[in-house]
Each structure stands twice: as structure tokens, then as C-alpha cells.
Amino acid sequence: MTILELKNASVSFGGVKAIENVSFSMEEGEVLSIVGPNGAGKTTLFNLISKIYDLDSGSIIFDDIELISTPPHEIAKLGIARTFQNTELFEHESVLNNLLIGSHVHAKTNLLHELFFLRKARDQELIFRKNAENIIDLLDLQSYRNTKIVSLPFGIRKLVEIGRALCLEPKLVLLDEPSSGLNPEETEDLVFQIEDIKEELAISILMIEHDMNLVSKASDRVIALADGKVLTIGKSQEVQEHPEVIKAYLG
């Protein structure tokens, strides 16, 4: 079943066509990587899907729902979670509180429950806490549970951000360069973590990645993007040998 489909998506900023007629579709349970040189429009694509930017033309369909008129904060409720290239964590909060934020979309308490911390709010907190603990176990974050983000190294922050996205219990997660800032060993671990997310949590993954080793190990298909246009879509090996892709990277 198709989980995400872009049809002729275009957006331009002034005279720059950041994304031009991009169409692709993604199957449920798939790991799809986006590669491309700097300025190809990869992050713009993510911002379009998470509605930080609005499309100029075309359409984005997620889980049979058209996203054009969805406000950005509703995207998470539909089941799309994302991470950011340079991490956008809540820096003065502990890892645990960051993960709990991920559960926000599942909150069913109203203001009254929260002001007086009634039973419903209390029970809900326990469920959120348990959910966060599962993610902590999955990503091996136990020793950082109560550490504030400001005092964590970048590699761990990246992981916390993935964890926060997973706490949302999404159907699709968008990872923006998960391996940037990680050392080779951590990148190796990331391959297994991505596999875990895919197999254990049954979440589809769309990721932007530069590390071709990670891309070929972790992803099912690869999209090559340059100057806002799709060059080719296919298996990692095919994409790497595609003449247009080589031209885009080497000029």
C-alpha cells in the first residue's frame, strides 16, 4: 500500500525553483533515502511534507489524505514525525521530557484535568512515561534519561531526536541526515537502529543521507535529487551508477 505520494510538487522562493515537478511514491514499511548535492532541495522537500512551507502547485497525499490544507501542527497527528539536520531539541529540558513531548499528540486531557492534575492526567502521564521508556530501551538511552540536552554530545542528541520522533508512534518518520556528526561506529549502530524501527515498530522511513555506505545498507530504494528535480529512483547500486547522478556530483 502506498503511504506517501507526491504528485508534481513544486515550490519556488522568488526566482529560485527549489523543488520542481517532483513526483514519487513510497510504499508502507519502506526505507527510502534521498541523496543529492548541497542545495538540491532535500530539506525543502521535508519542509514541504511537514507543511513548514506550502506547495506552489502539485499535491502531497499521505495515507489517502491530501495535505494541502493541513496546518503544520496537524501533520504530527496524522502520523508523520521528523527530525532536523542540526537537531531542534528542547535544550533546557531533560532527555526524558523531550521524549515525553513526542507523546503530546496523544494527549486527551483538557485544561481542567491539567490545572488540578486529576486522575485522568495522572494516568495519561504514566502511559506516556512507559511509552518513553520503551523508546529509551530501543535506542539505548538509559544512562542519559535525566541529563539536560545542553550537556549532551551531538551524536546522542541526534539519537534523542529520533527517539522523540518515535514517541509520536508515527506511521512515517522523516530523518534529516541522521548520520551527520556521528562517528563511524555510531553510524554502524544507526544501520541496526533503522532496521529496528522498520521491523519492530513497523514505521516507514524517508531519510536524507549523504553517507552512501549507510544508504546502501539501510535503504530499500534511493531517490537522487539535483537542482530541485528528481534524477532517478531505484536501488542504491543503480542510482550510484546512473550517469546523471555522477554528473550532478562531479559536474
Q: Determine which residue in the list 40, 89, 135, 172 makes contact with other proteins, applying CB under 8 A.
A: 89
Of the ranges 33-41, 59-67, 93-101, 226-234, which one interacts with other proteins (CB under 8 A)? Answer: 93-101
169 sits near other proteins (criterion: CB under 8 A): no
85 sits near other proteins (criterion: CB under 8 A): no
Of the ranges 29-37, 103-111, 152-160, 185-193, which one interacts with other proteins (CB under 8 A)? Answer: 103-111
Q: Which residues of 33-60 are buried (b: 16+ CB within 10 A; e: fewer)?
A: bbbbbeebbbbbbbbbbbbebebeebeb
Residue 34 contacts residue 42 (beta carbons within 8 Å)? yes
Task: Name the nearest CA neighbour of 61 among 72, 70, 52, 53.
Answer: 70
247 sits near other proteins (criterion: CB under 8 A): no
Tell me the sheet residues that pair with 4. Answer: 26, 62
CA distance readout (Å), 4 to 13, 30, 56, 62, 125: 24, 10, 18, 5, 32
Tell me the sheet residues that pair with 222. Answer: 33, 234
Q: How far is the CB of 103 from other proteins (least distance, A)?
A: 8
**Residue closer to other proteins (CB basis): 52 or 202:** 52
160 sits near other proteins (criterion: CB under 8 A): no
CA atoms of 183 and 158, how far apart (whole Å): 12
| Number of DSSP helices (H) and strands (E) in the chain, helices first | 10, 10
Q: Determine which residue in the list 13, 117, 154, 192 makes contact with other proteins, applying CB under 8 A.
A: 117
69 sits near other proteins (criterion: CB under 8 A): no
Residues in contact with other proteins by the rule CB under 8 A = 50, 52, 72-77, 81-82, 84, 88-93, 96-97, 100-105, 107, 109, 111, 113-117, 121-122, 124-126, 129-130, 133, 150, 164, 168
